[in-house]
Amino acid sequence: MKMEISEQDGVTRVGLVGRLDTPGVDAIETRLTAACVPGAARAIVDLSGVEFIGSLGLRMFITIARALTRKHGKMVLYAPQGFVAQVLETASLGDIIPVQPDAAAALAAVKS
Amino acid sequence: MERSGSTVLVKHTTVSEAAALRDDLRSYLVVIEHGEIVARIAVGLETLTVGRDPARHIVISDEKVSRLHLQVAMLAGEVVVEDLGSSNGTFMDGLRLTTPTVLPPERWVQLGSRLLKHERRSHREMEREAELHRDLEKARAYVQSLLPPPVRVGDVRTDWFHRPSAALGGDAFSYGPLDRDHLVAYLVDVSGHGVEAAMHSVSVLNVMRQKALSGVDFRDPGQVLEGLNANFQMEDHGGLFFTLWYGVYSRSSRRLRYASAGHHAGLLFSGGPAPEHLRTKGPMIGAVPGQRYTGAETSVPPGALLYLFSDGAFEVTSPEGRQLGLEEFIPLLGGPGAGTPGEAERVYVAVRKQAKPGPLADDFSVLAVSFD
């Protein structure tokens, strides 16, 4: 699992490529949490390069999103593909964390 | 080491007592069958032979393994494997071995459907691991004892198969009568697997078995999910949540009420071309305080079959690295032999054949319910 984090116009942008299985989550969770939570970030996460997500991946996003909400930050996921989109729909993750189809919609949602 | 009734026999080599007691790392060859370790043998001064012939050091009863298939030797501190002209080959990382090859620690070779893995451990580590394994086995047996026995007679019969990906898993399920008319069946899948998830699944199972949800009518799936959600918020339970499918069948009306929380559909086969997908929308239990859950209903005709299963049953990776899903799993259900004893285990075997070698990544649970 590869992760790139950048900041632009007050929005933390996260790009993920690979599998969000147990080792994938282990590889990025601490860094992603550190990049988002302490600064109460407004963060958008690009899922277009994620080919698999398991329950630990869902748990990671929910935990970070809830921590952000408590600090008046926000996380929006966008562009889930195929299998990952199906998993997010089955889990009704959109009821917990906003999921948008593309970067533009995610940016609008995170700033609102 | 010998295991009666298994397909693997191992003959001991002589090991120095002094060497065995030191903390020096030693190499071991671990035989893995369908994701389970079935034998472990120390690699020492003597070259080990592997094959189908009972005279070998490691005997593997697999038609794709030759009578004398492979040898394993320690050369200059390295474990070296050499295919001895086997018919079906020995493979490392998908490539057929044609010359003696170093097998580094934590890597494996495949022959037939078996994996031979090289592990480096100290004797002290091996003892600790054996003790931990014994404790985990006891815990596994306890969790397994909470699962109800299959029901082979009566108008509603069950069959199931459960295989955690680690010694302990986060999957659990149960079923049984609520009253004279109503039967309940449910499947829980806690996020992650291992000891933490297993402990959480046991908590949930025990609350359900004892009906310890205040003010909840257990014939109402929506109420049950809301009651569980109120009692199992993730902040109060180590950040864990779980998905759930819960259904209540009425014998008199032949109606099945159900609700699901973050869980894929249960599948009802009623003789039509495709199964009915039974699922209601809603997030995992423990993720959203105060979440409302609404159930749904369907009819269960005579001869129908209901399948509940965890996502570990279908989210497997093929040998080519392709992610498989429900589309590959559903055809394995409801076919010849459906509704007969042992069907759930046959589904497991079929899934294992579709998946890449090695243990499944997640816990596997399939519960099949047949209705007269």
A23 — phi, psi (to 5°)? -65, -35
**Which residues, in sequence order, are CB contacts of A94 under 8 Å at separation 6+?**
A88
DSSP B235: G
> In angstroms, what separates the C-alpha of A74 from chain B's closest C-alpha?
16
Q: Give the end-to-end CA distance of chain B in Å, rounded to a whole number.
A: 48
pLDDT, one tens digit for every residue, chain B (372 residues):
444 444 566 655 555 555 555 568 899 999 987 667 788 899 988 999 999 998 999 998 888 899 999 999 999 989 999 999 999 999 998 899 999 999 999 999 999 888 999 999 988 888 888 888 788 888 888 888 899 999 999 999 999 999 887 767 888 999 999 999 999 999 999 998 778 888 999 999 999 999 999 999 999 999 999 999 999 999 999 899 999 999 999 999 999 999 999 999 999 999 888 999 999 999 999 999 999 999 999 999 999 999 999 999 999 988 888 888 999 999 999 887 888 899 999 999 999 988 887 778 788 999 999 999
State how far the Cα of B284 lies from the Cα of B265, in Å rounded to an integer: 14
Chain B contact present for A60, CB below 8 A = no
Exposure of A14 in the CB half-sphere (CA atoms within 13 A): 25
Q: Which two tokens stand for residue B18?
A: 């002094």
How many other C-beta atoms can be found within 10 angstroms of the C-beta atom of residue A106? Answer: 25
**Which segments within chain A are labelled E, that is strand?**
2-8, 11-20, 42-53, 74-78, 99-100
- For residue B2, give Cα distances in angstroms to B33, B38, B53, B62, B104: 15, 10, 15, 17, 26
What ipTM was predicted for this assembly?
Answer: 0.89
Whole-model pTM? Answer: 0.78
- CB-closest option in B234, B281, B325 to A83: B325
Taking only residues 3 to 22 of chain A, the set having a beta carbon closer than 8 angstroms to any beta carbon of chain B reads 21-22
Cβ pair A62:B323 closer than 8 A: no
Chain A contact present for B324, CB below 8 A = no
β partners of residue B266: B278
State how far the Cα of A110 lies from the Cα of A52, in Å rounded to an integer: 24
Find the helix or strand (DSSP H, E) in which B134 lies. Answer: helix B123-146
A14 — phi, psi (to 5°)? -120, 130
Q: Closest by alpha carbon to B371, among B316, B300, B322? A: B300
- Give the sign of the dihedral formed by CA B235, CA B239, CA B245, CA B249: negative
